[in-house]
Structure 1
């Protein structure tokens, strides 16, 4: 059973994205959490906080570890997070006398937030590549059809003739600006979250900064001077960026759906959706989906702003709201970019224009 259209048995054909969706699978999450625990043991070995025997046993146990998923499910129901039960299972797999060195100095939020950062880094790579592909397709469309005369519309009324390049530029240029913004967004998302119980790494003593640097390097993330457990501005800026991207794609989809109307006919789509009752129709499904995904992300981004409000050093409520919201926004953006590329490839501007 699923309540999400992104992995629904048939609605996912319209809205889903398996490549980016896999970043939020249980397999990807557990793999990233295990990567954190393995790298933590290695970093602590290198700083003399655990001995080589413990590090070797931990590495071997985690390399072959298979979680008890029923136990993890029960643990989350009890604890609100997966890490206490996961660490219990990991320590059982490591056994004595080294079990206590598993997860040494860390807290649940370190593991969960760092796992998310690792997986978002992968998702952002896919999204960035797709964004570039959409821009490239729009450049090709502009080079081919940019000189075609179309009718500009202001407030849904015919205005003056303009070249198609004017319309295409209004789709392409915002996406290019989003590409420029992404570097700063990524810098605040792909960070190591490592602060221990209340952000002080108190169990690591003077070795805390060195362990942090080593751990970040091993995981390919940016080290911070302190964990941002309750400071969610970076992740919310990413959510806002996602909504900007889908909003710009939604504008493109809305324009294309209007231009492709039978009565307007300024854009011809080489492919589209069929009708069960009217076989002559070619419905602009990709264009409509871009509009829906834009509005979806615009709705959810408000939830991400609510998720910024943590009580003191950690909030279970705000944190849970983030889990409910962000994955869907990421998958929606990836799906929208894939559909936008297909739409750009399928359209052609027609010389007849609105007056044909």
Structure 2
């Protein structure tokens, strides 16, 4: 399937294969099928469908192989993958049980919950990468923190500082980003179950119990109501990703300036080469952090438009999320990966006191 990153020759520099894998169609479909399995089992537990219905549905899911070409055509027709996916799944379930698959839910329940399931892994990976950066900064400060640097304000020489002061300006925001992540993440990693218009009417008095059982089975947070049109958690996630990338861009621009030959306040063990000047050691990874920060800010700004979610479901705003959130996650992974490689390349920072 086509990559989210449109320029394959740049994917090693600007992409992140591990995070991109969680947005692969097969990963998304697996998460959707996990939703349908949890739905059937919860509904059987509450007597909404029979135990035989649930066994037939779950058994079909275990061996289900979707027709990806037909799914793509279904999306082109319906604007969403779920109608064709449910049609194919029902065709794999024997009668009289097939009509009970997907009962009481709607396309948005499946897609939003599948996103939450995959974002658990995406955010876990990003959090681990931030922790790795913090360890690298701790090591850098322990090694070179006592070295002296010239401070610069408004791009002009100011007063002498220590390398530890500079490094702490890189480290402290990363700690705050982790604190922010722990505060907002539960709002995103929440089950979506609302039915046709978000009121769970199809499930009647069993609705909340079904939702609670599903949330427990999928290891997602419980939802007292559907959040179909309340997209603030999605945008909050995007803004946090942009904050992380933006701060990494600050680290990148600092190192780019400090690595200039005239200053030589940072010595890089490895840099990019030049086709015309083989003696050059270009700070490629530092520059890329600046690029990715600006790209993430552009994506996050676009994601804000998805808040304008008309009535009980918006095809336009919802589709915009699908276009912007995955590349924003991938960009953040790329920025963190490049930042880690950049810090590992720093042979020295500052000048030891003589």
TM-score, reference length from structure 1 = 0.97
1:278 aligns with 277
Task: Report the alpha carbon displacement of residue 351 of structure 1 after superposing the two structures with TM.
Answer: 4.8
Cα shift readout 1:44-65 (whole Å, capped 9, x = no counterpart):
1111111111111111111110
Q: What's the CA shift for 1:95?
A: 2.9
Q: 1:2 to 1:53 in 2, by over 3 A?
A: closer
Deviation of 1:352 (Å): 4.4
Name 2:12's counterpart in structure 1: 13
Q: In the alignment, what sits opposite 2:245?
A: 246
Check whether the contact 2:272–2:281 (CA below 8 A) recurs between aligned residues: yes
1:326 CA drift (Å):
0.5
| Aligned position for 1:134 | 133
1:111-260 equivalent positions in 2, closer than 5 A: 111-260=110-259
Secondary structure of 2:150's aligned partner: strand
**Kept after mapping to 2: 8 A contact 1:33/1:111:** yes
- Relative to structure 1, the CA distance from residue 350 to residue 327 in structure 2 (aligned partners, 3 Å threshold; closer, same or farther) is closer
> Which runs of at least 4 in structure 1 moved beyond 4 Å after TM superposition?
1-4, 350-353
Aligned-pair distance for 1:329?
0.6
What is the CA-CA distance between 1:350 and the residue it aligns to?
A: 4.6
Aligned residues of 2:130 and 2:174 also touching (Cα < 8 A): yes
2:66 and 2:85 in contact (8 A); partners too: yes
Whether 2:69 is the aligned partner of 1:70: answer: yes
Displacement after TM superposition at 1:3 (Å): 7.9
8 Å contact kept, 1:239–1:304? yes
Which whole-Å CA distance do the structure 2 matches of 1:352 and 1:65 have between them? 63
SS at match of 1:152: strand
Deviation at 1:348, TM superposition (A): 3.5
Partner of 1:268: 267
CA–CA distance in structure 2, aligned partners of residues 185 and 235 of structure 1: 10
Q: Supply the distance in 1 between the matched residues of 2:7 and 2:92 (Cα, whole angstroms).
A: 35
What secondary structure is seen at the aligned counterpart in 1 of 2:233? helix
Query: Which residue of structure 1 aligns with residue 30 of structure 2?
Result: 31
**Structure 1 match to 2:51:** 52
Quote the Cα distance in structure 1 between the aligned partners of 2:287 and 2:2: 24
Distance in 1 (alpha carbons) for counterparts of 2:349 and 2:311: 59
Matched position secondary structure for 2:66: coil
Query: Which string of whole-angstrom CA distances, capped at 9 and with x for unpartnered residues, describes residues 184-207 of structure 1?
Result: 221111000110001111111100
Q: 1:63 to 1:21 in 2, by over 3 A?
A: same
Q: TM-score, with normalisation over the residues of structure 2?
A: 0.97
Match of 1:81 in 2: 80
The residue matched to 1:160 in structure 2 has which SS? strand
Structure 2: distance between partners of 1:161 and 1:90: 67
Gaps of 5+ in 2: none
CA distance in 2, matches of 1:193, 1:45: 19
Q: Would the alpha carbon gap of residues 234 and 350 (structure 1) be closer, same or farther in structure 2, given more than 3 Å must change?
A: closer
| Contact 1:230 1:312 survives alignment (8 Å) | yes
1:140-162: per-residue Cα shift (whole Å, max 9, x none)? 10111011100000010110111
Shift of 1:349: 3.4
Once residues 11 and 176 of structure 1 are traced to their aligned partners in structure 2, the CA distance between those partners, rounded to angstroms, is 30
* Distance in 2 of aligned mates of 1:39 and 1:252: 44
- Asked if structure 2 preserves the Cα contact closer than 8 Å seen for 1:37 and 1:102, the reply is yes
CA contact (8 A) 2:235 2:304 kept: yes
SS at match of 1:95: coil
CA distance in 1, matches of 2:50, 2:306: 40
Distance 1:22 1:174 in 2: 28
